[in-house]
A and B are shown apart, each in its own frame.
Chain A
Amino acid sequence: MERFNEIACEVLKLSPEEIKDSLTPKDVPDWDSMNYLLFISALEKHFNISFTMDEVLNAGSLGDVKTILRAKGITE
């Protein structure tokens, strides 16, 4: 999911080498609550999708967010 990774790098201030499905807020200094919202918003805008509040709250890792995107048909 190349485009997903690019957005994650940009918003969460990660290098491409750091991107892993297992990353959680504990691992990423810039993954604070507000940046997480900006990350989700950027994904919504780019992929033209909407998250539900449950999806936003229940995603605990980068892999969880990817799983939600895949469920919405996003594979980029």
Chain B
Amino acid sequence: MKAKELKFEDIKKGDSAFFEVVINDHDVEKFAELSGDFNPLHTDEEYAKNTGFGGKIVHGMFLGALVSRFVGMELPGKKALLVKEMLEFKKPARVGDLLNVRGTIVHKSEALRLLELLIEIRTEKELLVSGSVNVRVLP
């Protein structure tokens, strides 16, 4: 995978981009190993079935990592430096969900080379995550 390389000068308010991804069981296991978060809500189907969620759910910060992927690979891509990420997890993501990760530029500071993006992660049916990120665009 190669990061897109948008020039700061070419980015404007209202621009948006997205990618889609399906998270599988192996991804969740890898994220649990990487983060050290083996909470059974993410790793034990029997346990998770008996919670209000009815089955395993994807780590919230896995979704946060998809936002990192979005800014680092899509918009603005190669020159991105993520400086702030604020997310609200409204609904859980489940293994096998097709996730659409979208960001839209809501502010561009010319002097600071700083962008603010509205972030949404959705399935076809519902909004799972909303929030914002601030990203510097390196020269």
Contact = CB atoms under 8 A, between A and B. Distances in A.
Contacts of A51: 109, 111-112
A30 interface: no
B111 A55 contact: yes
A53 to B, nearest CB: 5
Contact size range, A: 10 to 19
B16 to A, nearest CB: 17
24 contacts: A34-B83, A37-B112, A37-B114, A37-B136, A38-B83, A38-B84, A38-B134, A40-B109, A40-B111, A40-B112, A41-B112, A41-B116, A41-B134, A44-B107, A44-B109, A45-B106, A45-B107, A50-B109, A50-B110, A50-B111, A51-B109, A51-B111, A56-B111, A56-B112
